[in-house]
Amino acid sequence: EDKVVQSPLSLVVHEGDTVTLNCSYEVTNFRSLLWYKQEKKAPTFLFMLTSSGIEKKSGRLSSILDKKELFSILNITATQTGDSAVYLCAGVRQGGSEKLVFGKGTKLTVNP
């Protein structure tokens, strides 16, 4: 059975700090790893990573995938209170079903 494990489960930081969120995966016939941000109800898409070692960046957020060690990290620099959310990581297989297997998420709280 496919599995995605995120750590830490929760994290509290001060504005301006840099954080690193971790995601390890065991996905048969792995194709991609995805990151989502869930602030209240609807998760919103952040990144899709398919190739190892290529960093994806969007503003203060960046992410990279290591397909040899089966993990990904999400970095957030100069955190702001608006970054407070649950960050979800998900893996998806090649071919067939497009179902995403999610981890439990990391709850990030950024205090002013």
Partner 1 sequence: GAGVSQTPSNKVTEKGKYVELRCDPISGHTALYWYRQSLGQGPEFLIYFQGTGAADDSGLPNDRFFAVRPEGSVSTLKIQRTERGDSAVYLCASSPPGRAGELFFGEGSRLTVL
Output the smallest distance, CB 76 to partner 1, in A.
19
- Taking CB under 8 A as the binding criterion, the range among 12-20, 65-73, 77-85, 87-95 that sits at the site for partner 1 is 87-95
The residues, any chain, with a CB within 8 Å of residue 16's CB and separated by 6 or more, are 78, 79
44 binds partner 1 (CB under 8 A): yes
| Residue 18 vs 44, nearer CB to partner 1 | 44
- Phi, psi for 103 (deg, rounded to 5): -80, 180
Judge residue 83's burial from the number of C-beta atoms within 10 Å of its C-beta, 0-12 exposed, 13-18 middle, 19 or more buried: buried
3-class DSSP state of 71: strand
27 binds partner 1 (CB under 8 A): no
83 binds partner 1 (CB under 8 A): no
Judge residue 46's burial from the number of C-beta atoms within 10 Å of its C-beta, 0-12 exposed, 13-18 middle, 19 or more buried: middle
Output the smallest distance, CB 50 to partner 1, in A.
9
Of 19, 34, 85, 110, the one binding partner 1 by CB under 8 A: 34
97 binds partner 1 (CB under 8 A): yes
